[in-house]
Amino acid sequence: MQYTHKNYLKEVLKTKGKASAAWAQAASNITTEILGEAGFDVVFIDMEHAPGDIQTLITQIHALKGLDTVPLVRATWNDFVLIKRILDAGAYGLLVPYVNTVEEAEEVVKAVRYPTAGIRGVAGSPRAAHYTNNSMDYMNAANNEIFVMVAVETMTAVENLEEIVKIDGIDGIFIGPNDLASSMGYLCNPKVPKVQDTIKRIENIVLPTGKTLATTSGSFEDAKAKYERGYGIITLMSDTSSMSKFARGLVDQFKGAFG
């Protein structure tokens, strides 16, 4: 059997410049499938702040099979062994948190790419390579098709960003607003003017390069404004926090009606 390995996300960004995204943070294949069936271009499967492991990840990627939704995984850390296992599970995109320097960003690219461009371990037996069924179809495509983003979450990363965006193999930059604000001394408060000025600085560095800029949103109006400024990927919801917000709203309505 012959396989094609074109990354739908790269095609969407190339043609439309914008992709819709949602967080899968419940470590659930059911909620992941719901998000994929809804039609999101990207589902960020979270392994940094969610309880899932590699086996859970595989079930979540299974849930998106046959859909145009790309499983983009937020890794737990910039660790080449963890990255290898995430990619072998079948992820077609990777978001690596807390990347602060050029050297750390280069390590991400090396971890993603097969030799001689990188250090990713070579095996035809994992899921991504179809369990040795025409594994070379995948291996020949993977270096070019896997979408790689790194997260800017500290002022150190901001100071090094002009050099980070020049690295071949870094496809996008993800702004983590809460982490960035917290690292600046404003715990979980990115609305502080100083933080907003820093976010604008990041935008001014990344957007002219043509690389994808991504972040979170608090509402669709917020996301729309960011898309119009040039962002390529915005997370519009989360399976956990969105359900929590909806549930609290219903309970408040019930209490308002019946006490």
Q: Which positions are annotated as active-site residues?
A: 49
Backbone CA torsion sign across 164, 165, 166, 171:
positive
**What is the phi/psi pair of residue 171, to 5°?**
-90, -25
| Residues paired with 93 in a beta bridge | 72, 147
b/e string for 134-151 if b means 16 or more Cβ within 10 A? Answer: ebebbbeebbebbbbbbb
Nearest CA to 180 among 212, 157, 161?
157
- DSSP 8-state assignment for residue 58: H
Helix (H/G/I), strand (E/B), else coil: 7: coil
- DSSP 8-state assignment for residue 183: H
For the chain, the residue count is: 259
Assess whether the previous peptide bond of 116 is cis (omega < 30° from 0). Answer: yes
CB distance 195 to 184 below 8 Å? yes
CB distance 117 to 143 below 8 Å? yes
- DSSP 8-state assignment for residue 128: G
Nearest CA to 149 among 139, 157, 137, 159?
157
> Which pair of tokens denotes residue 127?
């899921």
